[in-house]
Structure 1
Amino acid sequence: MSFPALKTRERLTEVRYEIRGELARRARELEAQGRRLIKLNIGNPGAFGFRAPEHLQRAIAGRIDETDPYTHQQGLPVAREALAAHYRRRGAPNASPERIFIGNGVSELIDLSLRALLNPGDEVLVPSPDYPLWTAATILNDGCPVHYHCRAENGFLPDPDEIESLVTPRTRAIVLINPNNPTGAVYPRELLERIVAIAARHQLLLMSDEIYDEVVYDGAKFEPLAPLAGDVPCLSFGGLSKVYRACGWRIGWALLSGDVRAIGDFHHAMDLLGALRLCANVPGQFAIEAALGGEATINALCAPGGRLYEARRAVVESVAVSRHLQMTTPAGALYGFPTVTGDAARSFDDHGFALELLETENVLVVPGASFNSRERTQFRVTLLPQPDELREVFARIERVLDRRAQAGGNTHAAVA
C-alpha cells in the first residue's frame, strides 16, 4: 500500500535558515568523501576548541545529584535569584525572580515569547540583516516580519525614523539584536533611547537579543536595554552559549521588565507556554549563579592578544588588503560580515559564491541573504578559528573573487 507524500505546513516555504541549510548539507557530503573543510557557518565555540569555564563545569558536577526532577517552569529559584540580582546591578527596573524565564537556549524563549504575543497577521519589526530565527519564529507563530534596514554605510546601525515609519496598527513589537549578529554592530545609548521612545509612543513590546552582551572589542560599550526602557515593556534575552562558550548546555534566559499593569497578561501567557514544555534543562541551570558571580573569562579573549581579538584582527587585515572586499569592523559578537565590491561584484549571487567557495576551496560561509538582507553581495564568517586559519580562509576567498572578477562576474565560472 502506498501513501501520498505528507503535506507540511505551507508557511515553512517562507522560512530560511541557511546557517544549517543546503550548503551545510553539501558540506557533510563532501566530508563523507574525505574532504577537509573549514566551516565558518556556525558560531559554535566548542567546535573550535573553546571550553566552558571550569568553575561552571564544577558547579554542575557538584549538584548533579539534584538534577533528576523537573523544576519550576520558569527555572530553578537559585538561578532566577542570581539573574534578578544581575539585572538589578545593570539598573533594570523591578528585576525580580518572578520576572525571569529560563529556557532551552534563547532560541526556545524567542519562540515562546512570540507565541505568547502574536495573533495571526500581527507584525513584528525585525532588523535586516537579522539572526534568521527572529524572522522564522515570527512567521511560524502566524505573524508578519517587517524588516527595517541596517545599512553598511551607516555602520549597520538602524535608522529610528525608518523604524517608526514602518509602524502600523498591527505592529506589536520591535526586535533589537545588540551586539549584532551577523554584523558585529554595537548600538550606542542615544540610538537605543530613540527606539525606546518609539516603543513608548506606539505601545510596543521591546525584544532585545543580548546574547553577545560581553563580547565587545576596542572599548565598545554594551548598553543593556531594560534600564533605558523603564516602564516600557521589554524582554531582554541572554544565556550561557556565547559569553560562556557553553552552547550545548542549552541555557538561555529572558527578563520581562516594564510596568506591571502592562506586562501582567503577557507574563501569564509566557508562564503557561513554559509550563506546557515542563521546564528547561536542569543541570545547566546550576551553572548560572557561578557564571554571573565568577570571573569574567570572556574579557581576556576579547582584549589585544586574546584569541577572539586576534582572530578579528586577522579578518580585518585580510579584508583591508583584499582587492574585492570591504567590511565595517565588528565592534562586538563573533562574526565578520564583508561586502564584495568592484568587478567581482558584477552579477554577484551570494549563494552561488558560497557554493563555489565550498566546492573549490573547501570553505563554508553563510550567504548574506540568509540573514534576510536585501543585499546579495555579503557573507558572514565566524571569528572562532585560529587567526592563521582565518588568514588562509581569506586567501582562498580572494582566489575565488579573482576568478569571478576576471570572468566578469559569471557565477558559474569556476564550479565544476
Structure 2
Amino acid sequence: MLHSSHPTQNVHYAIRDIILEAQKLIPKDKKILPLNIGDPLKFDFKTPRHIQDAVRESLAETSAYAPSEGLEEACLAVAQFQSQFGIPKLTAADILITSGGSEAISLILASVLNPGDSILIPYPGYPAYEAQINLCQAKAKPYYLDEGNEWQIDPDEIESLIDSKTRAIVIINPNNPTGAVLTQNVLKEVLLVAQKHNLLVIADEQVYPFYVFEGEMTMCASLGIDVPIISIGSMSKTYLVPGYRIGWIVFNDLAHNLAEVKETIFKLKRVNLCSPHPLQKAVKPALGGSHAFLSEVKEKLINRRNLLTEKINRIEGLSLVKPKGAFYAFVKIEFPIQSDKNFVLKLAQKTGILCVPGEG
C-alpha cells in the first residue's frame, strides 16, 4: 500500500471533516441545517446584483489566465480599500490576489515557517491555521482568548509564550469562532510585543470588516507601529460570494524588513499560476461600489445574534458571550458530556443541526 506523507498525518480541518462523520449517522433523506460552514448563501442571503453582473460581463470577454499577482485593477481596488480603515497609502504592488483567504494563509505560512519553528495562534481560532502549520512541520502555540473579558487577547500571555523559535503572531479580528472584536488598546499592546521581539504579525482582519455590531473595527496597520504586518482579506463573507474564491494579501512593511518574505509569497503564488481571471473582475465593483446591501445583512445578523444569545443563555448548562462581530457563536457547555465532538454528532443525528466541535 502506498502511504501518504508524514506531515499530512496531522492535518485536520474540523469545519468540513465533521461533515464526513455526521453523514454516517444522519439518514440521507433528513434535512441538515449546516451551521458548521460560514456560507451565507446557504440561508436567505444573496450575492449583490452589481457583483454578479461584473462576473457575467467578464466571462463573456475572456477566460484566459490572469497575472499571478492578480489583475492590476483588482490589486489597486484592494490597495485603495485600505484607506477606509486609516491604513497609510498603498499601491497595487503591495497587494497579492489569492484564491480566497485560505490560499493566503497557506502561502504566508509556507513562506515564513521552517520545520521546528513555532507560531502563536488564538484559541479558539480558525482551524485552517493549525492544519497549515502542521503541514509546514512547525508548531502551533496557542494563546487563549479570555472568555470572561469578551474573548479579548491577553498580551502578557502572548509575551510569555515567545521563545527563540517563534516566528509570528496570528491575530483574527473579528474572531472566528467567538465573534469577538478586539479593542484598539489590546491590538496596540500585541503589536508592541511583536515589535519588541522582532516578530511578524499575520492579521486576519479583512474578512468581516463591516460586520462589527458593537465596538470599533481597528486594523493593525492603522496604528502606525513599526512592525511587519501581513493582512489577509477575502470577498467571501462581506460580499456574499464564498464560491468565487477571491481573497488578498496586503503587505504593510512598516518595519522595512518584509522584502524577502514578500518575494517568496509571490514566488509560491506563481507556482499556483493565478486566481480565476473572470472572478477577479468582481473586486473593483465590490470594494469600490455600492455597499447599500450591507444594512439589510447587518440587520438580519444582529437580530439573529440577539435571539440566539437570549435563547442559549436561557438553557440550563449552556452559556454564550454575545458576539460583537462576524456571524459565529461559541457556546459553552457546562454539563457533563463525553466530548464536544460526541455532543455535536449526537445533536446532528437527533436534530439535523450540524455544528463544529470546539476542540476543532
Normalized against structure 2, the TM-score is what?
0.95
In the other structure, the counterpart of 1:393 is: none
In the other structure, the counterpart of 1:209 is: 204
Q: Which amino acid aligns with 1:97?
A: A
In the other structure, the counterpart of 2:306 is: 313
CA pair 267-323 structure 1, distance change in 2 beyond 3 A: same
Q: Which moved more, 1:237-246 or 1:31-40?
A: 31-40
Q: Which amino acid aligns with 1:20?
A: R
- Do structure 1's residue 277 and structure 2's residue 267 form an aligned pair? no
Look up the SS of the partner of 2:359 in the other structure: helix
Q: Answer yes or no: is the 8 Å Cα contact 2:15–2:36 preserved in 1.
A: yes
Normalized against structure 1, the TM-score is what?
0.83
Residues 304-363 of structure 1 show CA distances to partners (whole Å, capped at 9, x for unaligned) of xx221221122111113211211110000111111112xxx2255111111111122222
Residues 267-312 of structure 1 show CA distances to partners (whole Å, capped at 9, x for unaligned) of 1111111111111111111111111112224531354xx2212211
In structure 2, list runs of 5 or more residues that go unmatched.
Answer: none
Query: CA–CA distance in 2 between the matches of 1:102 and 1:256?
Result: 12
In the other structure, the counterpart of 1:395 is: none
Q: What is the count of residue pairs matched by the alignment?
A: 359
How far has the Cα of 1:232 moved from its partner? Answer: 1.4
Q: 2:67 aligns with which of 72, 82, 87?
A: 72
Q: 1:25 aligns with which of 11, 16, 20?
A: 20
How far has the Cα of 1:29 moved from its partner? Answer: 4.3
CA pair 318-89 structure 1, distance change in 2 beyond 3 A: closer
- Do structure 1's residue 266 and structure 2's residue 285 form an aligned pair? no
- Do structure 1's residue 346 and structure 2's residue 336 form an aligned pair? yes
Q: Which amino acid aligns with 2:209?
A: D
Q: Which amino acid aligns with 2:324?
A: A
Structure possessing the higher radius of gyration over alpha carbons:
1
Residues 354-394 of structure 1 show CA distances to partners (whole Å, capped at 9, x for unaligned) of 11111222221111101xxxxxxxxxxxxxxxxxxxxxxxx
In structure 1, list runs of 5 or more residues that go unmatched.
Answer: 371-416
Larger RCO (CA under 8 A, 6+ residues apart): 2
Q: 1:127 aligns with which of 103, 119, 122?
A: 122
Look up the SS of the partner of 1:235 in the other structure: strand
Identity fraction in percent: 35
Query: CA–CA distance in 1 between the matches of 2:306 and 2:75?
Result: 37
Query: CA–CA distance in 2 between the matches of 1:363 and 1:204?
Result: 41
Q: How does 1:17-416 map to 2 (within 5 A)?
A: 17-21=13-17, 23-29=18-24, 33-210=28-205, 211-217=207-213, 219-259=214-254, 261-297=256-292, 299-301=294-296, 303=298, 306-341=299-334, 345-370=335-360
Q: Which moved more, 1:67-76 or 1:161-170?
A: 67-76
How far has the Cα of 1:209 moved from its partner? Answer: 0.8
CA pair 112-101 structure 1, distance change in 2 beyond 3 A: same
CA pair 191-288 structure 1, distance change in 2 beyond 3 A: same
After TM superposition, which residue ranges in structure 1, 4 or more long, deviate above 4 angstroms? 29-32
In the other structure, the counterpart of 1:374 is: none
Q: Which amino acid aligns with 1:212?
A: Y
Look up the SS of the partner of 1:231 in the other structure: coil
Query: CA–CA distance in 1 between the matches of 2:29 and 2:99?
Result: 34
Query: CA–CA distance in 2 between the matches of 1:319 and 1:31?
Result: 24
Q: Which amino acid aligns with 1:354?
A: V
Query: CA–CA distance in 1 between the matches of 2:359 and 2:171?
Result: 19
RMSD: 1.7
Query: CA–CA distance in 2 between the matches of 1:225 and 1:66?
Result: 38
Look up the SS of the partner of 1:126 in the other structure: strand
Look up the SS of the partner of 2:208 in the other structure: coil
Residues 218-243 of structure 1 show CA distances to partners (whole Å, capped at 9, x for unaligned) of x4211111122543111111111000
Q: Answer yes or no: is the 8 Å Cα contact 2:26–2:349 preserved in 1.
A: no
